[in-house]
Chain A
């Protein structure tokens, strides 16, 4: 039978097929898949596609200098983790470090040089050319001659190789000042110079030896040392291990270290010196120190007929100390005894990044405790170390001295140049401002973002962001030996970014390039053939002698490597004048010890004591990834500068309610804060972070940052770790 196909047959076939397919899962599955996979709106960014690679560098956000391993897509880092076996962090990172690759996309990132105008609560910026800024600097610099004021350079990251460059250039300038934020490590260096019979050099801590740490407000468990130093201590908390490090935290604040420590001894704010004297008193009274050694170590320990260290200490009986500090005399006695019984012990005094330094006298008092405890003896945990070698031409004689803010006369700076906007250790603008010549000074900041002090400059020149810039990491204060590492760029810098060194070089009419400078430094280090090198790629450490050339050394360092100096084997004999060699030393120390805490200040019942604080690498806006809202806003884990925390009883007394808004006020200004009560906080105080601030951009307006440190009275600013203020309902 011939096969004839009519149109009708074809239609029937097609129709039948369609109907048939409809009873199979095919069309439904198709619809299903389409319905699912088309459901992400086209405005939602698509994830990047491309080659996946791994690179290494070093984190430059804080002084620790952790090794960073970056997983990259198309060469752009998308996930950071700690470099395995790195001597500083051994594979770990802090939350800021984890999100550090976002800083290049900071909402307040600058693209061009700008002129900054501060309006009412907001900031306006006007793009200008780099030449314009340089011309302004040149005029101001020409004016900065003696009568018309000096030229100051504020280095927000002192100790880098470029810092040496700045100091060298400033030394050549007639009225050049090298200015840094006041910090305890800098104070300690100054103290040691003042106290030591013979130059002593930098010190470091060998915490592996220690069984008891007595921390005076130092964030020892929360960013003081390196992760490699603190992680083992933190891992053995609450464990029954005999040799676990015991941390005694002396802190007015219920800080993170106080929370994590084995024992928290709260004391009245600003009475650290008295407590150190009180503990020393018990050690001496009960003969808990090595008498053979101490007499030789401390020339002013006991001078017949003159005020001596033992006279000073003698005044701080447990009862008297208890009165001054609020710590019970039992605790003072038992602490002194346990420090000796559970040795080796070390006392560490260091304010945090927001609270600022403890002050020179408190540091001297703590230092005395260390000598009594034998921490400087040959089996002790405080060690001398060398500085990382510097290239020729950078010896200390050729450098401008390091100046603290208080050493500078008011209204004396004509041109202020700021390198970096966000330091680990913030300097209140109000302190800086009064050093400037009113209405005639020029302030220029070099900063990647319009945050921190850059908001107060007249001009800001954009610099490469974190992980775009080449910089070095100086030795951290806690390190027992000198170290050196380089944060090499992982990201290409955008057009229009200028390294701060280039601007400064132009100001000083010289040449300067970060790469050349760092290559000189690495060559100088390499030339000593000392120490060993950590290689990030393999996770191994080799003696520097195994590297063939400075270039090879450079290659390792720029790929996330690190140089560590050999330790100094023998400790030299040292002598310290305990109260320093100044004629008024006794009185100064006595005044420091007897100082009345702001908590016991004049009886004005509405006054509370503000304790500002800050966590390392989290204080400044430029260090904050936009994603850090997770910590500060989206969870209560860290508190922003907008949250004031106080004891429930204090809150009740001042009629303040948890969760409501309050106005914090001093004679210098007011700030709006959210109120939070916490039963663990000392009554009568307000704990409030000096940073970070939730990122200040609402719509197209840039909101001015409001730092709690701006409320400090500049007349009696230092140290600013506690000051009085009122807090009332908003």
Chain B
């Protein structure tokens, strides 16, 4: 039915099967849109956030997907600037993933702020000292870059290619890819960092507050590093997942192995700095603000196991696995390690968003709990569903994996 739209030389499931796959995601998307609509129309009283838990599921989601989406800039940077051609076979997929993550994050952010119509004030009355200003500027610019990077992939569609002027445009865009990759890397560096800085600057929250290195708190750099570790793992994992779901080989194992290696290296660096940072924080930064650090791990379910899980189980362990070629060659270990990397980064974002707010500051404060409302969960799943749909459509109609045809023939 839609055969003429599908890339030449690759096999895609019948159209009805595709619709059957999309349908539940579409329904989830609809539910999500309804939840988001309620939040926009009725206000954020629809959520379970409150004055004390002013950030919730959404900010956590934003931080996590943007870290996962870091694969787009990191891969682009390695491919176009450092000329690591191994990554050519996943770059298109990485760009789509990046686009999904960033646009999804921005969409949720627009629901999250109380006055989305005033969002442009940030450009109008920017407070240059605010990490959020930096985030907003870089995110908006980088989303533009991602759209420009996504455009040539769309233009590669079989039918669109038939229009000559589009082909020329695509060709020219392609020549500019180096520039985009450079700009993207620059912008990403800052907003990934600023997202980390978001919490690091919170002097009033000694659980999150970190000493400054230069003009940025240490979390600024930790976020960049952890995002660079998470990005490749996320591409690795999605590629593997798409292979499983579509029952096709899409990239060579070396590529996946290379992504794993990248992740492993970055994670090792990250864990090293994270450990140093944690030690400084426990022994100096936090106590000097009058907050004994062990108290943080003395509340409800948030024991020291959280820190252990973040640094050792989901940090050191996958890092060591991914650094060893033997484990990388093994599919099972490779995928498990990637999952662990992502879990570690997600846990880090969770701890910074949720634990920071749950912990008391004043002596007579209580430890707080928060459970998102269904409207929040719906808006969250809106992004997931949107991501799956956009990726599925892109996978079906656009050449996301250049090696696919070659691998299909070799079978």
B118 near A39 with CB under 8 A, answer yes
B-facing residues in A32-55 (Cβ within 8 Å):
32, 35, 39
Contacts of B124 in A (CB 8 A): 31-32, 35
Contacts of B125 in A (CB 8 A): 32
B121: chain A residues at CB < 8 Å are 35
A29 to chain B, nearest CB (A): 11
Category for how many chain B residues contact A:
under 10
Give Cα A544–Cα B115 distance, bound, in whole angstroms: 61
Contacts of A31 in B (CB 8 A): 124
Complex CA gap A35/B124 in Å reads: 10
- In B224-264, the 8 Å CB interface with A consists of none
Interface string of B93-126 (1 = CB under 8 A from A): 0000000000000000000000100100100110
Question: A483 CA to B118 CA in the complex, in Å?
Answer: 59
Q: Which residue of A lies closest to B369 (CB)?
A: A659
Contact residues in B for A39 (Cβ distance below 8 Å): 115, 118
Write out the residue numbers on chain B whose beta carbons fall within 8 Å of the beta carbon of A35: 118, 121, 124
Q: Which residue of B lies closest to A32 (CB)?
A: B124
A35 to B121, CA, bound (A): 8
Q: Which of B112-153 contact A (CB under 8 A)?
A: 115, 118, 121, 124-125
A659, chain B: closest CB distance, angstroms: 10
**Which residue of chain B has its CB nearest to the CB of A634?**
B51
CA distance A32 to B118 in the complex (A): 12
Main secondary structure, interface of A, reads helix
The residue on B at minimum CB distance from A28 is: B124
A391 to chain B, nearest CB (A): 56
Cα–Cα distance between A31 and B124 once the two chains are bound (Å)? 10
Question: Whose C-beta in chain B lies nearest to the C-beta of A39?
Answer: B118
Q: Return B123 CB to nearest CB of chain A, in Å.
A: 11
Question: Which A residues touch B115, using CB under 8 A?
Answer: 39
Kindly identify, within residues 11 to 36 of chain A, every residue whose CB is under 8 Å from any CB belonging to chain B: 31-32, 35
Q: Which residue of B lies closest to A31 (CB)?
A: B124
B199 to chain A, nearest CB (A): 28
Interface string of A522-533 (1 = CB under 8 A from B): 000000000000
Q: How far is the CB of B392 from chain A (nearest CB, A)?
A: 40
- Distance (Å) between the CB of A630 and the closest chain B CB? 13
B119 CB to nearest A CB, Å: 12
Nearest chain A residue, comparing its CB with the CB of B115: A39
Residue of A nearest to B118 (CB): A39
A175-209 vs B, CB cutoff 8 Å, 1 = contact: the mask equals 00000000000000000000000000000000000
CB distance from B358 to the nearest CB of A (A): 15
Closest CB in chain A relative to B246 CB, distance in Å: 49
Interchain CA distance A39-B115 in the complex, whole Å: 10
Please, how many angstroms separate the alpha-carbon atoms of A31 and B121 in the complex? 11
User: Chain B's nearest CB lies how many Å from the CB of A658?
Assistant: 10
B residues in contact with A32, CB < 8 Å: 124-125
Shortest C-beta distance, B174 to chain A (Å), equals 37
* B51 nearest CB neighbor, chain A only: A634
Report how far A603 CA is from B115 CA in the complex, Å: 60
B306-354 residues with Cβ-Cβ distance < 8 A to A are none
A560, chain B: closest CB distance, angstroms = 39
Chain A 696-718 interface residues, beta-carbon cutoff 8 Å to B: none
Give A32 to B124 CA distance when docked, in angstroms. 8
Question: How many whole Å from B150's CB to the nearest CB in chain A?
Answer: 32
CB distance from A200 to the nearest CB of B (A): 50
Question: In the assembled complex, how far is the CB of residue B57 from the closest CB belonging to chain A, in whole angstroms?
Answer: 21
B186 → chain A closest CB, angstroms = 28
Smallest CB separation, A128 vs chain B (Å): 38
Task: Give Cα distance in the complex from A32 to B121, angstroms.
Answer: 9
A32 vs B126: C-alpha distance in the bound complex, in angstroms?
Answer: 12
Nearest CB on A from B117, distance (A): 9
In the bound complex, CA of A437 to CA of B118 (Å): 65
A32 to B120, CA, bound (A): 11
User: Min CB distance, A26 to chain B, in Å?
Assistant: 16
In the assembled complex, the Cα of A35 lies from the Cα of B125 at a distance in Å of 11
Distance in Å: Cβ of A462 to nearest Cβ of chain B: 33
Q: What is the minimal beta-carbon distance from A506 to any residue of chain B, in angstroms?
A: 48
Q: Report Cα–Cα, A628/B124, bound state, in Å.
A: 39
A35 to B118, CA, bound (A): 9
Residues in A whose Cβ lies below 8 Å from that of B118? 35, 39
Nearest chain A residue, comparing its CB with the CB of B125: A32
| Min CB–CB distance A648 → chain B (angstroms) | 14
Q: How far is the CA of A449 from the CA of B172 in the complex (A)?
A: 76
How far apart are B40's CB and chain A's nearest CB, in angstroms? Answer: 14
- Look across to chain A and name the residue whose beta carbon is closest to the beta carbon of B117: A39
> In the bound complex, how far is the Cα of B124 from the Cα of A39, in angstroms?
14
How far, in whole Å, are A558 and B115 apart by their CA atoms in the complex?
A: 49
Task: Write the A363-376 contact mask toward B (1 if CB under 8 angstroms, else 0).
Answer: 00000000000000
How far is the CB of B280 from the nearest CB of chain A, in Å? Answer: 37
Q: Which of A671-727 contact B (CB under 8 A)?
A: none
Q: A267–B121 Cα gap in the complex (Å)?
A: 62
| CB proximity of B239 to chain A, nearest CB, Å | 45
What are the interface flags for B366-381 relative to A under an 8 Å C-beta threshold, 1 for contact and 0 otherwise?
A: 0000000000000000
In chain A, what residue has the closest Cβ to B120? A35
B374 to chain A, nearest CB (A): 21
A35 to B123, CA, bound (A): 13
User: What CA separation (Å) do A324 and B263 show in the bound complex?
Assistant: 75
Assembled-state Cα–Cα distance A31/B125 (Å): 12
| A609 CB, min distance to chain B CBs, angstroms | 28
Complexed CA–CA distance, A210 and B158 (Å): 98
* Alpha-carbon distance A124/B66, docked complex (angstroms): 55
Question: Can you name 8 A-B residue pairings with CB atoms under 8 Å?
Answer: A31-B124, A32-B124, A32-B125, A35-B118, A35-B121, A35-B124, A39-B115, A39-B118
Please give me the 5 A-B residue pairs with the lowest Cβ-Cβ distance, nearest first: A35-B124, A39-B118, A32-B124, A35-B121, A32-B125
Name A residues whose Cβ lies closer than 8 Å to a Cβ of B. Answer: 31-32, 35, 39
Other A-B contacts than A32-B124, A35-B121, A39-B115, 5 sampled, CB-CB below 8 A, are A31-B124, A32-B125, A35-B118, A35-B124, A39-B118
